[in-house]
Structure 1
Amino acid sequence: MRFWGIFIFVLLIFNRGIAQSQEVLNTFWQQKEMKHAAIGVSVKNVADGKVVYEYNAGMSLRPASVLKLLSTSLALKLKGDSLTFHTKVSYSGKIRDGLLQGNIVIEAGGDPCLDSKYFNGNFLSRLVDSIVRLGIKQIEGNIIIENEGQQPLIPGSWLWEDVANYYAALYHPFNYRDNTYTINLASGKPGTRPHIVSVIPSVPGVKLRNEVVSSVKQQDDAWIYGGPEASTLSIRGTIPANRSSFAVKGAMHHPASVFLAELEKELKNKGVVLKKKKDILTDRQEFFTVESPLLKEIVFYTNKNSVNLFAEALGALVSPSEFETAVKEELNRMGIDSSGITIKDACGLSTSNALPAGTVTDLLVWANKQLGDSFLASLPQGGVDRGLRVYSADPVLGGNLKAKTGSMFGVRALSGYLHTRRGEVLAFTILVNSYTGDPVKVQKTIRDFLRELAIQ
């Protein structure tokens, strides 16, 4: 009887400690900025999958870029980390005495990385050099990009203020330079109109209406407005005053057209004349192929730099047309509840996306065991990557935190792994929607919550 009395006493003390710990953690969500927010939190031990802490873990909330954890992990699961995209180039007709009577045909293979700033690609220059090495001085035909397919549709839930800016670059069968162009502006005194210095690369068929104003504010608050088929785009907002060069980046909605214009220009510089004539359809001779980086390398930059274009490409690998359905089916096969999921894109830009924190945490527990470094290496590292600078500022966290951030208006989200002082690895997801006040204070509250988790 004495033994059972001691056992019950210890159990009561243990349970009281757990309850007190939960109460301490709950206080973080009572902060001023969180008072009116919808909050979902799920924390599990990676080793055994047991719940460490939950707070509305089943509530479906906007994840912003945390959604990329689904597109990256499931693309790796379904396609393996060594998958590559291929872009093939052929010529039709015959080459005689420097004259090609035929076409140059580029077979688009869906590679999102052609001449991307994230990789050391030089597709354009290598293609031009390959054409020159064939001895071609004149092309009596056309340069054709095949399989370009139908213009991708912008998800209906993407905001109008987003669709013309760089982070809303659509994924095409043929992609070029991250489907992004840069408007370089020079500003003068506050209140004056900056002037456009250059547009790189130039975007054929599109005019820019400059409505930007120079400001004393030392921040970028300039945005591009207009749809993908618009012939005129407006640049509005402010940029810092007295800058000799200031970059505003836009979404290149027709990358094939931009590439063809640049290719024709570079061929001309090399002395190759393009005489556009009626298509000559004859047998082809392949002469140039470009292979993309490995899938795990694309995943790396998708999560590290939160590249929406890459995430959409990975989503198309999971399913080219029914991403939400495919995600739910895969999660169900993995034993993860998918019933609370609403997905409108693969990158997290849609304001209609919704996920329970518990679903993402369960995915992280699975990914830690099944995907290894191909996935884990892609997550931003505390104390290293700029995106985590607020979350990992506390010395207790630092290098013990690896996580994907997510942010949009009214949303701050974080999901990843935390190494505790006890040597445990915790998978966690924190989704905060519709907060009021300073977003940095919300981030600091999340940081303080993680610190408490780490030291308990």
Structure 2
Amino acid sequence: MMKSGWLFLCMLISVTSALGQTRTGERNLWGRDEVKHAAIGVCVKNVETGQVVYEHNPGMALRPASVVKLFSSALALKREGDSLTYTTEVFYTGEIDEGKLSGNIVIQAGGDPTLDSKYFPKTCFMDSLVSKVVNLGIKRIHGNIIIETEGEPARIPGSWPWEDVANYYGALYHSFNYRDNTYTINLKSGKPGTQTKIVSVEPSVPGVKLRNEVMASAKNANDAWIYGGPETATLLIQGTIPANRSSFAVKGAMHHPDACFRAELEKRLKGKGITLDKQKIEDGERHALFTLVSPFLKDIVYYTNKNSINLFAEALGELISPTDYARTVKAELSGMGIDSCGITLKDASGLSPANAVPAEVFTDLLIWAKGHLSDVFVASLPQGNVDWGLRIYSDHPILRGNILAKTGSMSGVRALAGYLKTQRGETLAFTILVNNYVGDPVKVQEIIRDLLKEFADK
């Protein structure tokens, strides 16, 4: 009895000493100029036991930025499994006679976010469609190209900042998506202080004019931004790009991917000698042309987290709930035994600055995922010493290769949540949310890295 009591006392002293060292390190870290006035939430738990290793305001709801993608990716896998696919079906109507199609080409969109995505170069939807039309011997289409969902209103989360919605990372999710719903403006710059010129726009954006006010700068950085909403007839481009560039890419959000796709398809068909009359013809009997099947859901989740693709995250959110994403997420978490009372969600990607989540919620989700999801989820998280986004967070020998985590960043926010393997071989689930810091964001990342070093070294 005395022996076991002595052993318990020794363990208690050891734990208390370790916590005391962490508390001392914490005070030193959180006292640094960049974060001493910031709102900070931290929750670190042992994955195997669920015991708290360290916490600091774990229940404070803070902006998580892209860390919120952990919800959409984990819950989409939970509800749909690894192998879900989207299908996009293409038909032609009417009859083909001596190279003339008296009918329409009809595309039935299935919500696939990966059509001709740069992340999935093998899904060549445009090439496949053009090839199928050519192989049918069609030289003239006495009809039109119809995308069934064309004209659906764009749904923008009300809290997305105006300066984000027209830039590539603000690409909206639609029933029909194309080329990551992104287009590229190629600018030519001269001497610093002179105005740039638009060289080309790829693909073209029908019905939209671009007003270019971008200037050349001596700074070697892209500081050009696009302004305007989905229904804007003129988009404004302002800011600066590096001087003396023959072509410099600025990427924008393709607000109407169906119109962009149709315009490019018409151009491609014309290049193959196929005439499109654009006549209104009633939709008669349909003949299957081909069906494109998307990559597996596990592959979409992989790029959602690895490359922090907002478009993919919003697509995953649609799988979870097309009508009330926030309520459904909270209900799912509650069903998993995770306290969801402090959560405010406005989107599935983390672009909204109105999102707020306690650190403990993410940590508990990570523990749940480790025990209930396949390795696909963990493999989707960026890895230290491998993925660019973790280069600062993992810049220490005991962190490199031992950290898997989703990053999050926006103005005044640096966030990180994932798994950390300690020197003792234990796996920790952790979340660190820093809001309203001042100064250099790299310094904030270094502070987070130094805190992780303390946990890894225990």
What's the TM-score once normalised by structure 2's chain length? 0.97
Deviations along 1:340-378, one digit per CA (max 9) or x if unpaired, are: 111001000001000000000000001112112211111
Q: Distance in 2 between matches of 1:421 and 1:9?
A: 24
Q: Distance in 2 between matches of 1:8 and 1:86?
A: 59
Q: Distance in 2 between matches of 1:399 and 1:129?
A: 45
Aligned to 1:23: 23
Q: Does structure 1 residue 419 correspond to structure 2 residue 418?
A: no
Superposed counterparts of 1:430-449, under 5 Å: 430-449=432-451
Q: Distance in 1 between matches of 2:15 and 2:302?
A: 41
Moved more, 80-89 or 235-244: 235-244
Q: Distance in 2 between matches of 1:198 and 1:221?
A: 19
Deviations along 1:227-252, one digit per CA (max 9) or x if unpaired, are: 11111111101111111221110000
Q: Secondary structure at the match of 1:312?
A: helix
Moved more, 8-17 or 51-60: 8-17
Aligned to 2:431: 429
Q: Distance in 1 between matches of 2:4 and 2:130?
A: 83
List alignment gaps of at least 5 residues for structure 2. none
CA RMSD of aligned residues (A): 1.4
Report the CA distance shift for 1:375/1:149 in structure 2 as closer, same or farther (over 3 A): farther
Q: Distance in 2 between matches of 1:91 and 1:26?
A: 65
Q: Distance in 1 between matches of 2:96 and 2:217?
A: 57
Aligned to 1:47: 48
**Residues 108 and 148 of structure 1 are in contact (CA less than 8 Å); yes or no, is this contact kept in structure 2?**
no
AA at the equivalent of 2:141: I
AA at the equivalent of 1:185: L
Aligned to 1:94: 95
Report the CA distance shift for 1:255/1:423 in structure 2 as closer, same or farther (over 3 A): same
Q: Distance in 1 between matches of 2:16 and 2:350?
A: 40
**Residues 194 and 216 of structure 2 are in contact (CA less than 8 Å); yes or no, is this contact kept in structure 1?**
yes
Q: Does structure 1 residue 72 correspond to structure 2 residue 67?
A: no
**Residues 159 and 354 of structure 2 are in contact (CA less than 8 Å); yes or no, is this contact kept in structure 1?**
yes
**Residues 94 and 102 of structure 1 are in contact (CA less than 8 Å); yes or no, is this contact kept in structure 2?**
yes
Deviations along 1:180-201, one digit per CA (max 9) or x if unpaired, are: 0001111111101111111111
Report the CA distance shift for 1:3/1:115 in structure 2 as closer, same or farther (over 3 A): closer
Task: Calculate percent identity across the aligned residue pairs.
Answer: 64
Q: How many residues align?
A: 456
Moved more, 20-29 or 288-297: 20-29
- Tell me how far 1:134 sits from its aligned partner: 1.3
Aligned to 1:245: 247
Q: Does structure 1 residue 303 correspond to structure 2 residue 305?
A: yes
Aligned to 1:234: 236
AA at the equivalent of 1:140: H
Moved more, 99-108 or 11-20: 11-20
Deviations along 1:170-222, one digit per CA (max 9) or x if unpaired, are: 00000000000001111111101111111111101111111011111111111
AA at the equivalent of 1:60: A
Moved more, 402-411 or 366-375: 366-375
Q: Distance in 2 between matches of 1:198 and 1:135?
A: 33
Q: Distance in 1 between matches of 2:144 and 2:199?
A: 32
Aligned to 1:331: 333
1:365 to 364, 367, 387: 367
2:209 to 175, 197, 207: 207
Q: Distance in 1 between matches of 2:312 and 2:8?
A: 55
Q: Secondary structure at the match of 2:34?
A: helix
- Tell me how far 1:311 sits from its aligned partner: 0.3
